[in-house]
Amino acid sequence: MSLLSVHDLFVNYRTQGGPVPAVRGVDIEIGTGEVLGLAGESGCGKSTIAGALLRLLPTGTEVTGSILLNGEDVLGMRPGRLRAVRWTETSIVFQGAMHALNPVQRVGEQIEEAILIHHQAGEREAHVRVGGLLEQVGLPPRRIKDYPHELSGGQKQRVMIAMALACNPSLIIADEPTTALDVMVQAQVLKLLKELQRDLGLAMLFITHDLSVLIEVCDRLAIMYAGRIVEEGPAQSVFYESAHPYTRALADAFPAIGEGRFRKAPSGLPGDPPYPQDLPGGCTFHPRCPLAFEACPHIDPRLFDVGPGWRAACLLVDSAKPVLEAARTPGSGP
Amino acid sequence: MPPTEQAPDREVAPPLLEVRDLKVTFAGRIGLGAGLLGRKATQSRAVDGVSLQLRRGEVLALAGESGCGKTTTARAIMGLEPPKEGQILFEGRKISKGLRAYRRKVQMVFQDPTGALNPRQTIYESVAEGLRIHRIHHGPNGETEQQLVARALSRAGMRPPERFFLNYPHELSGGQRQRVVIAGALVLDPVMLVADEPVSNLDASVRGEILRLLLQIRDDLGLAILVVTHDLGLAWTIADRVAVMYLGRIVEIGPAEDVLTRPLHPYTKALLNVVPEAGGLDRPILTGEPPDPTRIPPGCRFHPRCPEVATGAARAAGVEDRCRGEDLGLMELRPGHFAACHLAAVTVGEGQAMSTSQPKR
């Protein structure tokens, strides 16, 4: 059984201009100890998924489908149970560590608070545990008495990671955990996350716009566009042999230094990601797709098999042929 | 080694921009008590001796971590930060004289297009603002303001330009806004652009198009472009030359191919090591954060973090004492490729000697 199993997830934000479909039918499976990378551009719905998993979205947001965590339905949980699950079964590391910490409380106390609230240990034991956690994330235990402003950006993110580990969760959701950090510090934090994940056998949902970061830490990759997953599969296959033209373009946006085809040749896509309120018909990617053909504006492709455990929502995938044929035959002729 | 074809060329054409030993300092804040006791605020040496040249039609990437002084260098070049020492020469003249005319020829493109555009101004007004500030009513060939604005928008890829005249920034996407910012720079017919992280606020799939636009502008109009970036991959896709900064100094500069595929300075190597790619996490990563520009270490400023010093490679080559005690400038270790590293100075020389002696064996 999967640790996390999301099926047919839809999320509509309620706005003055009517409902905005941010997530439009997403399936996600994460097994114990597995790392899934979720990539996409701003507005594609990736952070909305992170929020939906722990029910952190604004009240009034419409969430349908099913989210099973260890077989338990998250969407149907009573508030008390939900509070217990947060942090102990699934924790989350946010992008802006600088804003997620309380500026007037010592960082050690903030981590301790999480442990005490969840009755994971008594006060003395919790204190010892915090020291251990800081050491685990590569901070000297004396930092326990520091306030957030005394720490650098990378150190604050390490505190956030320690906090996420505090109640021994089996799944960590990392939403752009390194985006605000400098390149060198980003590499340090990524390495730490990967090592912790390996050592503790954690499952992770790693969300970022930076596909090149995911390839370093993930077993599997899912690429989102306009509220849907458009390609999903083993990380290496998806990145290096992308079946979906959008994945290809996204991967090329992070050029390999030294590779001739990128030299003096920045590659990108024309146009911009669509607004969720105003999605193009057929395949939502077709207006920007370099390979679009006559069927693309008319057929909304589901995920077709590309290889073992690898699927892409593109009509150019071989296994999409029957769908194309079927679309051509019945209404052939004007 | 035969002289490269570039060498004589460089001597003939004077550089468009020349920065000589530029220094910019910021005064640190100081508490009242310490002030009364007569203590002086510590000086933060943000830019601590930068020299570089930029030729017409050239794209130079200025790379480094945050706090290395790359943005301050760019701002000083724009005349936005007074230099404490050093000179900035544009077309052979000091920029401090005739700053207004200089600013017409050199335009800046900022990181955040949303912040750079006035939300209450139409696109037309935003682009025309530069013309109005410089009191330009007609183009050199008698073009009207409207024609100049339309041409700038169209060069920036906003076509047909008239369609966007009356739009407001919030009606455009991030990529389009950055194109408007670029149009605002182009409308004054500059000869040089300074672009500070021009795409880091844009979506990944949109970045390529903006970078392609910058290259296009360079090719069509022969502009020189100084791109400030933390992203070496970006440098690979657009720059002719790359300069890597560390703690207020350029530590390596040269042709992009050389610097990015055959780096000489250990810091450049470390930066390249952390460019994400599959399996990259197993490579060594520098520990610690960039040091404080108020306390620049003696000797080579990189030595406290330098892996070559830590692993003993510098000692083995007999340069460790100099790494710790002898400050150094850039040395031309390969044609057109400069680095400030005691170890590289020794090993690159040896490498050449070895390669010539090998055939004899």
Residue B212 with chain A: CB contacts under 8 Å: 266, 268
The values of phi and psi at residue B60, to 5°, are -115, 125
Cα of first residue to Cα of last residue in chain B, in angstroms, is: 21
- Considering only the beta carbons, identify the residue of B173, B230, B285 that sits closest to A188: B285
Q: Are residues B201 and B81 in the same domain?
A: yes
Beta strands (DSSP E) in B118-239 are 192-196, 224-229
In one letter, which amino acid is A29?
E
Among B237, B286, B290, the residue with its CB nearest the CB of A255 is B237
Averaged pLDDT score across all residues of chain A: 91
C-alpha distances in angstroms, A249 versus A267, A291, B210?
7, 11, 15
**Which A positions 106-125 lie with beta carbon below 8 A of chain B?**
none
Residue ranges of domains in chain A:
101-168
Q: Is residue B47 part of a domain?
A: yes
> Which of B220, B246, B272 marks a domain boundary?
B246
Query: What does the alpha-carbon distance between residue B113 and residue A52 come to, in Å, rounded to a whole number?
Result: 31
DSSP-derived secondary structure for A3-15: SEEEEEEEEEEEE
Residues B239 and B282 in one domain: no
Q: Are residues B177 and B224 in the same domain?
A: yes
Tell me, yes or no, whether B180 and B301 share the same domain: no
> By mean pLDDT, which of A240-244, A248-252, B177-181, B353-357 is the weakest?
B353-357
Is B9 domain-assigned? no
Domain co-membership, B234 together with B350: no
B198 in any annotated domain: yes
Cα A112 from Cα A89, distance rounded (Å): 17
pLDDT number for residue B262: 94
Residue A333 has a pLDDT of: 42
B154: left (phi over 0), alpha (psi -120 to 50) or beta: alpha
Domain boundary pick from B246, B271, B294: B246
Rounded mean pLDDT, A13-37 = 93
Assess whether the previous peptide bond of B291 is cis (omega < 30° from 0): no
pLDDT at B30: 67
Size of interface A-B (CB pairs under 8 A): 133
Question: A162-195: per-residue pLDDT in tens?
Answer: 999 999 999 999 998 888 788 888 888 899 999 9
Residue B238, both tokens: 């657009």
**Chain B residues near residue A275 by CB distance under 8 angstroms:** none
3-state secondary structure string, B314-351? Answer: HHHCCCHHHHHHCCCCCEEEECCEEECCHHHHHHHHHH
Q: Is there a contact between B203 and A209 if contact means CB atoms under 8 Å apart?
A: yes
Residues B6 and A328: their CA atoms lie apart, in Å, by 60
In a domain, B287, yes or no: yes
Q: Is the dihedral of CA A148, A154, A155, A157 positive or negative?
A: positive
Whether the Cβ atoms of residue A238 and residue A312 lie closer than 8 Å to each other: no
Tell me how many domains chain B contains.
2
ipTM confidence score: 0.85
Classify residue B8: in a domain, yes or no: no
Q: Is residue B34 part of a domain?
A: no
Q: Based on the domain organization, do B223 and B280 belong to the same domain? A: no
The CATH code of the domain that includes B91 is: 3.40.50.300
Q: For A90-128, how does the pLDDT look when each residue is reduced to its tens digit (9 = 90+)?
A: 999 987 766 788 999 999 999 999 899 888 888 899 999
Residues B94 and B212 reside in one and the same domain: yes
Collapsing DSSP states into helix, strand and coil, what is residue A255? coil
pLDDT at A196 over 60: yes
Of B193, B220, B246, the domain-final residue: B246
B132 and B233 together in one domain: yes
pTM here? 0.88
Would the CB atoms of B270 and A211 count as touching at under 8 Å?
A: no
Q: For every one of its 361 residues, what pLDDT tens digit does chain B have, with 9 covering 90 and above?
A: 444 444 444 455 679 999 999 999 998 766 666 667 766 667 889 999 999 999 999 999 999 988 899 999 999 999 999 999 999 999 989 988 888 889 899 999 988 888 899 999 999 999 999 999 999 998 888 999 999 999 999 999 999 999 999 999 999 988 999 999 999 999 999 999 999 999 988 888 889 999 999 999 999 999 999 999 999 999 999 999 999 999 999 999 999 999 999 999 999 999 998 887 655 667 778 877 777 888 899 999 999 999 999 999 999 999 999 999 999 999 999 999 999 999 999 998 655 544 333 333 3
Q: Which pLDDT belongs to residue B63?
A: 95
Give residues with Cβ within 8 angstroms of B245, minimum separation 6: B50, B62, B63, B64, B68, B69, B70, B73, B251
The confidence score (pLDDT) of residue B281 equals 67
Position B3 in a domain: no
Distance from CA of B94 to the nearest CA of A (A): 32
> Which range of residues forms the domain containing residue B350?
258-354
Q: Is residue B4 part of a domain?
A: no
Question: Do B289 and A254 lie within an 8 Å CB cutoff?
Answer: no
Q: Does residue B226 sit in the same domain as residue B264?
A: no
Q: Which of B209, B236, B279 sits opposite A263 (nearest CB)?
A: B236
> Scanning the structure block, which residue is given the tokens 């301790």?
A112
Residue A270: is its pLDDT beyond 80?
A: yes
What per-residue confidence (pLDDT) applies to A178? Answer: 85
Q: Do A266 and B230 touch (CB under 8 A)?
A: no
pLDDT number for residue B280: 62
Rg (CA), chain A: 21
Say if the Cβ atoms of B274 and A184 lie within 8 Å: yes
Looking at residues A14-27, what average pLDDT do you find? 92
For residues B106 and B211, membership in a common domain is answered with yes
Task: List the one residue out of B336, B261, B354 whose CA is nearest residue B55.
Answer: B336
What CA–CA distances, in Å, run from A311 to A4, A211, A228, A306? 19, 17, 13, 5
Order of strands across the sheet with A35-39? A90-93, A171-175, A203-208, A35-39, A220-225, A228-234, A310-312, A304-307
